[in-house]
A = this chain, B = another copy of it.
Amino acid sequence: MTWEHKKIIHFNGKYFEELEVGLIKEKPLTLYLNEKEFITLLCYPEDLEELALGFLKSEGLIESKNQIRKISLSDDCSNVHIEADITILEERLYEKRIVTTGCGKGSIFYFALDSLKCRFSEVKRKWDYREIITLMRNINTERGTKNIRGLHVCGLYDSKNFVVREDIGRHNALDKIIGYCLLNDIDTEDSVVFTTGRISSEILLKSAKINAGVIVSRSTPTDLALEIAEKLNITIIGYVRGNQMTIYNTIDRILT
């Protein structure tokens, strides 16, 4: 089912008129890991192998490309089957996480799994603030005609590559990038993550797990995301709009 041209009724402030519009696609993708149904993600149906691999990496189930034995997407793009060597310890932890979907209890790392994967980020690179403004501006044009109103866009810049992916969810867009980097051996250490959405603690932790050094957003970080960022020494830049930006914590990585 696709509605490339859906008939709608538009009220333009004066009268009602019939028009045709396009719609954002949303599709469930069921991920099978080693022949076991694992999770269903609701997503924008593009770059689905990358999404599946990125999700597994974000969740700590795979770390390198070598662990993946096979990946196959069904013809109708509704299922992806992955065969991979996952570690038993993390499989056990993951089960705990699914049952509790988190577990908080005062710890800043409310996911047991996340604390294993995040570490203090050393400043290894510096970035020109003008470059950050330019990349944020380009993020919506990078994918050309594919850009659709209403989709979230994420980007990753490692000073050579600028990878941009879109999805109905911010997390999915970032997972697609993480999957792409995994498949293409792109080193994400001290890289810059861009997002058109808010920086929540979940986006922060996802970025921290690939050792990003800077997170840039068109919107704002939450206080919890900023608290974790300060502990992990990740630079948070928000409200990058036009020629303006807001640096929320350490300026060490920014050439002013």
A contacts, CB < 8 Å to B? 1-3, 6, 8-13, 16, 21, 23-30, 37-42, 78-79, 98-106, 110, 129, 149-150, 168, 198, 200-202, 219-227, 242-248, 251, 256
Contact = CB atoms under 8 A, between A and B. Distances in A.
B24 A223 contact: yes
A103 B37 contact: yes
Given A23-B226, A110-B40, A28 B248 contact: no
B40 A244 contact: no
Contact of A25 (B6, B42, B222, B246): B222
A98 B202 CA distance: 19
Contacts of A27: 224
A223 B150 contact: no
B198 A40 contact: no
Contacts of A25: 222-224
A135 to B, nearest CB: 15
Nearest to A223: B23
Contact of A29 (B10, B104, B129, B223): B104
Nearest to A219: B150
A132 to B, nearest CB: 10
A74 B29 CA distance: 38
A40 B201 CA distance: 13
A43 to B, nearest CB: 10
B149 A220 contact: yes
A201 B44 CA distance: 12
B201 A6 contact: no
> Which 8 A-B residue pairings sit nearest by Cβ, starting from the closest?
A40-B102, A26-B222, A28-B104, A13-B243, A26-B224, A9-B247, A23-B223, A30-B104
A223 B104 CA distance: 35
A31 to B, nearest CB: 10
A226 B6 contact: yes
Nearest to A15: B256
B101 A168 contact: no
A167 to B, nearest CB: 11
B24 A220 contact: yes
Contacts of A246: 8-11, 21
B42 A201 contact: yes
A13 B242 contact: yes
